[in-house]
Amino acid sequence: MNVNRVSLETVCGITSKLPENTLPEIAFVGRSNVGKSSLLNVLVNRRAIARTSSQPGKTQTINFYRVEDQLYFTDLPGYGYANVSLEIKQKWGKMIEKYLKSSKQLQQIFLLLDIRRIPSEQDRMMYEWILSYGVKPVIIVTKLDKIKRSQKNQQLNQIRTSLHLSPEIKMIPFSAQTKEGREEIWTLIENCLKNSYSESKEADIGKEQKKDEVD
């Protein structure tokens, strides 16, 4: 997708009421410093729509980016940063849980993992947590440019084995530097949009039929 219009529309803290959006939502979640902001910037062809930081744990809110008046990118708080208090970590967890429970427009979750590292216990917990909400996440494996090409398949296999990923769980290697993986991610997003619009149209038809029956 060629993105011409994108804006940060809503920022929600722990006590904020989540917006009742009517457009499909695509959520992004991952541990601190995994490259989430860089991914979002590449997807929308902007340098700093999502602020990158050398300080892990910077994202402490849920940020909703409106993209082309067609969908929202939902940037969830990074988890797993050691140098924050337990209280803050618990708040981040509650924010993510609140979103997963209440969003009526959530179509897909992208779970980001660093290709250089075996998934942590928190990564495994997040993966299982997402599954418990009836959503099959797509795994985006970031920082592909940080390893040798010869290491790629080995690292991907280690991640798949560590998380016990079933065959239907898709993994996409991604590099913010080379933009490898961008088109594949957008193809998945566009397929989600098509499915969402089809379901919405079917629901509208169903409502009209019930209305005709009542009349």
Whether CATH 3.20.20.10 fits 6-214: no
DSSP per-residue codes, 49-64: SS---SSTT---SEEE
The verdict on pTM exceeding 0.95 is no
pLDDT at position 69: 93
**Amino acid 79: pLDDT:** 82
Q: What's the pLDDT score for residue 39?
A: 96
* Contact present, 164 and 196 (Cβ < 8 Å): no
Which residues touch 37 (CB under 8 Å, ≥6 apart)? 50, 51, 52, 53, 59, 75
Residue 196, pLDDT score: 81
- pLDDT score for 86: 67
Q: Which pLDDT value is given to residue 60? A: 76
Task: Break the chain into its structural domains and give their ranges.
Answer: 6-214
Q: In the prediction, which pLDDT does 201 show? A: 53
Q: How far apart are CA 186 and CA 45, in angstroms?
A: 12
Q: Which residues pair with 30 in a beta bridge?
A: 112
Q: Please write the tens of the pLDDT for every residue from 33-51.
A: 899 999 999 999 998 888 6
Low-confidence ranges of the chain (pLDDT < 50): 203-207
